[in-house]
Amino acid sequence: MKRHQTLQDLSREHHTALTLALAARRAADSGDPRQVEASARKCGAVFASSLEPHFVVEETTLLPAMARAGEQALVARTLREHDALRALCGELAAGDAATLQRFAELLSAHVRFEERQLFAAAQAALEP
């Protein structure tokens, strides 16, 4: 689906998140503590450099506009998932496979939710 111009950068950034989630899932499934630890470190670094700034843009621009458009349920879910991902990211330092797996699953599901539901609703609201 062609995204509205105001959503294109955010949508492109989702590719980075999905790639990260897939790599994290593979590392968690590997059973290799070194792979899990390395992936957890990478997730933390990418979260800080890419995902957190992405969340901030959504939270300061897109979500307020969506709330004004009456999409409180979508906004609330997005914020809950952002908070959950931030919390899981903070737990990644422990380097355990279960946390890495939860992080990967939630990140992947969150991106798909945003692309399929949040951005679809935003696109409809942004159309002239």
Average pLDDT of the residues of the chain? 92
pLDDT digits (tens, 9 = 90+) for 18-56: 999 999 999 999 989 999 999 999 999 999 999 999 999
pTM of the model: 0.91
Inter-residue contact 30 to 83 (CB < 8 Å): no
The crossing angle, in degrees rounded to 10, of helices 33-46 and 97-113 is: 40
Domain ranges of the chain: 12-126
Tell which wins on pLDDT, 125 or 107: 107
Q: How many residues does the chain have?
A: 128
pLDDT digits (tens, 9 = 90+) for 48-87: 999 999 999 999 999 999 999 999 999 999 999 999 999 9
What per-residue confidence (pLDDT) applies to 128? Answer: 53
Which of 1-5, 22-26, 121-125 is least confident? Answer: 1-5
Inter-residue contact 26 to 105 (CB < 8 Å): no
Inter-residue contact 107 to 20 (CB < 8 Å): yes
